[in-house]
Amino acid sequence: MALLFRSSPESAARWQPHFARLMPELEVRVWPEVGDCAAIDYALVWQPEPGLLASLPNLKLIMNLGAGVDHLLADPTTPRHVPIVRLVDPYMTEAMSEYVALQVLRLHRRDLDYAAQQRDRVWWELDQKNAAERRVGILGFGVLGQDAGRKLQALGFDLAGWSRGAKAVPGVATYAGAAELPAFLGRSEILVCLLPLTRETEGILDRRLFSQLPRGAALVNAARGGHLVDADLLAALGTGQLSAAVLDAFRDEPLPPDHPFWSHPRIVVTPHIAALTNPPTAAPILLDNIRRLREGRPLENQVDPARGY
């Protein structure tokens, strides 16, 4: 019973002790030391090169080292007959919610303005309202969105959530589908994107969407760079339609040194750190799915390739 691990070599060293402890019978092979391809039953991957998974003839399960499987589904060589599961780890969910809470509070409390005042040694009190008067919208209201929503509600924000299919969440205004998107956007002074990246959501954060937000709205994108049309964000910041943006994901990562986001005074750039994988908590979750497969039980968090997440 063998698992192929394909992420960075440093990363492998962080995972292996947990696999060895929890499932000693599992042989873990770290790419590029693949060995006999036919002996590999499971693959644990982050952005594997096209063709790698297709080269494993007896592969039974593809496990993605993160919540978003857009890279796997965008690769035409990914075997379609092998189930794909995404990593849903409460530890990472909590980390994402912390990131969202920090960035929403930052935008709500005018932190970019105060940081500029500090640079200029300006002592000046800006108008401020309370969280209860600040309407925040979470675009993508699944596991991550709902957890972040609970934390924003505990902080007092006036929260709404949008998802593709209707979801009833106690105490939250929920909107669903394309028909209700304009009403959701029209109330979102701070918009948080936590969508999966699919054919339908690619480039969704564009000029048309920004124009439906209240003037001066702010954006947090903690999902994927592919959701955002970079030039449209810069244009919306230029006209004042948007007042600020916090971005954790980019079309090219690492973000190229000459990209205008780095030095824009109204953009906060973080290097895809909103929710880092955490081997001590994630390894048992991954191995549970291997056990489920072996015992013929239903997998957890299996991806629907047609839906894209």
Sites of contact with its own copies (CB under 8 A): 91, 94-95, 97-99, 101-102, 105-106, 108-109, 111, 114-115, 117-118, 121-126, 128, 130-132, 151, 154-156, 253-255, 257, 262-263, 268-273, 276, 278
Shortest Cβ 46–its own copies spacing (Å): 13
Under 8 Å between Cβ of 281 and 90:
yes
Question: H or E element: which one contains 12?
Answer: helix 9-22
Shortest Cβ 114–its own copies spacing (Å): 5
Q: Considering beta carbons, is residue 183 or 269 the nearer one to its own copies?
A: 269
Under 8 Å between Cβ of 44 and 283:
no
Measured in whole angstroms, the distance separating CA 69 from the mean position of its chain's CA atoms is 10
Q: Considering beta carbons, is residue 170 or 298 the nearer one to its own copies?
A: 170
Tokens 């409460």 -> residue: 90
Q: Considering beta carbons, is residue 76 or 257 the nearer one to its own copies?
A: 257
Q: Considering beta carbons, is residue 74 or 102 the nearer one to its own copies?
A: 102
Secondary structure of residue 85 in the 3-state scheme: strand
Backbone angles phi, psi at 70, to 5 degrees: -60, -40
Q: How many residues does the chain have?
A: 309
Q: Quote the CA–CA distance of 38 and 137 in Å, as a whole number.
A: 48
Return the active site residues.
224, 272
Shortest Cβ 61–its own copies spacing (Å): 27
H helix runs in 24-158, sequence order: 70-74, 90-108, 111-119, 143-154
Q: Considering beta carbons, is residue 118 or 239 the nearer one to its own copies?
A: 118
Shortest Cβ 132–its own copies spacing (Å): 7
Under 8 Å between Cβ of 44 and 82:
no
Q: Radius of gyration over alpha carbons of the chain, in Å?
A: 21
Write the DSSP symbol of residue 34: -
